[in-house]
Structure 1
Amino acid sequence: MEYSEIIDIFESHDKFLIITHKSPDGDTLGSGFGLCYFLREMGKMANVVNSDGFPDRYDFMYVDYAPQEFEPEYIIAVDVADPALMGSGLAAYQEKGVVDLCIDHHISNKHFAKLSHVEGDTAAAAHILYKIFKSSGRKISDITAKCLYTGIATDTGCFKYENTRPDTHLAAAELMAYDIDFANVNRRMFDVKSKGRIKIEQIVTGKMEYHLHDRCAMICITTELMESCGVDQAEFDGLASIPLSAEGVVIGITVKQRHERVFKISVRTTEDMDASAFCNYFGGGGHIRAAGCEIRGTLEEVKAKLLERAEQVLGK
């Protein structure tokens, strides 16, 4: 789709529902709230929804946000590659064709919406939205800019991941010109950790497993572990980078229990391995260096499946 076609959609409808993915990160929330504020600035009605709620660590993006009362006439999903990623709380929107438009940057997008705009080579969904907004010629507000900057910064690991391109930096630089206190955003996103989070990282690092001649590292987060730590569940998000931080590791796998026999898998890889292809084998997907999937079974069964596949890809 051309950006002008998306702007035409914004202009020709009045009541929008914006769907973000479960276990929300900075990009899906930055994209969701950035789009919400942009639409409201156009005089439209718009709300953002998430099946898991909005974590406190991102509250600077929605401290003044208030849901509006209306029946949506147009539904947009942002940063959602698969309808299953909407979560059980938004099951009513997961059937193919229910969502009107999906704006995403995952190469594994399943094109479940009536219309899809996917840029697999763009670092963040928030960057796509910035390009769309910029093409409209409309001014954006500081809070919109702050949301978009947060999405870009978080999905690039503060601009250190391979998905960062020259135009990523240029977009971030333009957004930094707004009154967004970008230094504080980056500090909150990348430097500040609660005591509970520090405790969690100490535990999972201490229990990290190494396989396949130390080329594969894995951490496992069970419900038992989460309950024993006595911290908010949101503190367990964003741990996927830990396994890959060990020297010599090619694939880092995080296994996080969601239900009794359901595990969320997050995979991070170096240039020697395709994370999206690895997760696609299990029905998931994502990016070349960061992807995910869901596997059912006991913890030991899930680990065995992951290691078997890793061995097939890497060799013994």
Structure 2
Amino acid sequence: MIDAILRAIGQGRTFLVASHAHPDGDAVGSTLGLVNCLRDLGREAVAFNLDNVPANFAFLPGAQSLLCRPEDLGRYDVGFVLDSGELSRAGSFLPLHCRQVISIDHHPCSERFGDINYVDEQACATGALVYRIIHAAGFPVSADVALCLYTAILSDTGSFRYSNANPEAFQIASSLVACGISPWYVAENLYESRPAEQLRLLAIVLETLAISPCGRFGSVCVTRDMLLSAGAKPEDTDGLINYPRSVRGVEVALCFRQTDDNRFKVSFRSKGKVDVGALARGLGGGGHHNAAGATVDGDIGQVKCQVFARLNELLPFS
């Protein structure tokens, strides 16, 4: 599969690199890592996402040149769609702009929508798959490429705390640090540069912290009114789910974020015993065993009732 991707790179001159909407660190880092690598090779490469780069990833090289409007896209020899188990998450229109589509992903139940599909569910991050391609080709790894891919892996492994922090994650991270990047520089931008509005939002949201009677799952809730009161943005909700997850005994953490009058985006995090990816897919969403999400219609009471009912079926109580 890597050989086929390298042939496509060798034969192409113009490239589009996209990832899923509402991008996380792996989506942004792998996209910009591949774009910077292609540019280093003298290729024309464009980064695209339906949403802007979150503020805490704006330090990554190439972030300011990312396109967000479909009407700004041209025609490309090759289109890479990264970290998207479903084409619709990145943009169903993308193949119309590309002669060939290559999907690179590590999500379970990936759609395999590309002409070439490089999917490895065991990979710690899509950034690791991009690194494998670059390494196999012997392409030079510039400081810009290393910074982006290191950030992708660091983000998706929870700073190497999650179960997907496998030996390859540490091996790749070590090689990228050897390229001259500063782990502190990345950590400072990701974890030590929060806007005050985010902390104000945290203070409000923690008032909603709820632990189930069994103690096996916990949740927080974010409404549009809370965002308005704190002067915060939707991207400032990143990381809030880690607070219920950190409670002793909690196996599954949830964050309910209001996106419309009667619609909530529900994020799930598992400590390993519960497959929240299956839970999310049952609600029309998707994701991994330990991290997933779905959008559910209804008021907060209805949404919680529906989600908790499904969760109770998955959690074996004794």
| TM-score of the pair, normalised by structure 1 | 0.91
Q: How does 1:118-129 map to 2 (within 5 A)?
A: 118-129=119-130
Equivalent AA in structure 2 for residue 61 of structure 1: L
Give the aligned length. 311
CA distance in 1, matches of 2:50, 2:120: 25
Letter in 2 for 1:50: N
Letter paired with 1:278: L
Match of 2:256 in 1: 255
Q: For each residue in 1:53-86, what CA deviation from the matched residue of structure 2 results, as whole angstroms up to 9, or x when unmatched?
A: 1122212213685469853232211111122322
Matched, 1:42 2:41: yes
- Distance in 2 (CA, whole Å) between partners of 1:190 and 1:145 is 19
Partner secondary structure for residue 58 of structure 2:
helix
3-state SS of paired residue (2:46) = strand
What is the CA distance between 1:237 and its match in structure 2? 2.5
Which has the higher mean CA deviation after the structures are superposed, 133-142 or 184-193?
A: 184-193
**Partner residue, 2:70:** none
Would you say 1:107 and 2:69 are equivalent positions? no
* 1:305 counterpart = 2:306: yes
> How far is the alpha carbon of 1:306 from its aligned partner?
0.5
Q: Distance in 1 between matches of 2:304 and 2:63?
A: 43
Counterpart of 2:182? 181
63-72 or 277-286, larger mean C-alpha shift = 63-72
Aligned to 2:59, the other structure's residue is in SS state helix
Question: Identity over aligned residues, as a percent?
Answer: 27
SS state of the match for residue 253, structure 1? strand
Contact 1:108-1:287 at 8 Å conserved across structures: no
AA in 1 matched with 2:179: Y
Q: Is the 8 A contact 1:84 1:94 kept in 2?
A: no
Give matches, 1:153-168, under 5 Å: 153-168=154-169
CA contact (8 A) 1:283 1:293 kept: yes
Question: Following the alignment from structure 2 to structure 1, what is the Cα–Cα distance between the partners of residues 66 and 135?
Answer: 25
String of CA shifts for 1:244-285, please: whole Å, max 9, x gaps: 111111111111122223221110112221111211211222
Alpha-carbon separation, structure 1, partners of 2:252 and 2:184 = 31
For the 8 Å contact 1:98–1:114, the answer to whether it is kept is no
Instruction: Please provide the CA RMSD for this pair.
Output: 2.2
Query: What per-residue deviation string (whole Å, max 9, x for no partner) do you get for residues 185-233 of structure 1?
Result: 0232234422111122222122111224221111111122212211233
Instruction: Confirm or deny that 1:215 pairs with 2:219.
Output: no
Q: For the Cα contact (< 8 Å) 1:284–1:292, is it kept in 2?
A: yes
> What secondary structure sits across from 1:30 in the alignment?
helix
1:226 aligns with 227
Q: Is contact 1:36-1:48 (8 Å) kept?
A: yes
The equivalent of 1:6 in structure 2 is 5
**1:94 Cα shift?**
8.1
For residues 215 and 241 of structure 1, do their structure 2 counterparts lie closer, same or farther at Cα, with a shift above 3 Å needed?
same
CA gap 1:67/1:265 in 2 versus in 1, 3 angstroms: closer
Q: What is the deviation of 1:238? A: 3.2
Structure 1 partner of 2:173: 172
Aligned to 1:62: 61
Q: Which has the higher mean CA deviation after the structures are superposed, 210-219 or 148-157?
A: 210-219
Quote the offset at 1:98 in angstroms: 8.9
CA contact (8 A) 2:210 2:218 kept: yes
Q: 2:138 is matched with which residue? A: 137
Offset, 1:154: 0.6
Worse-matched range after superposition: 235-244 or 13-22:
235-244
The SS at the match of 1:242 is helix
| Match of residue 53 from structure 1 | 52
- Gaps of at least 5 residues in structure 2 are 68-72
Moved more, 3-12 or 120-129: 3-12
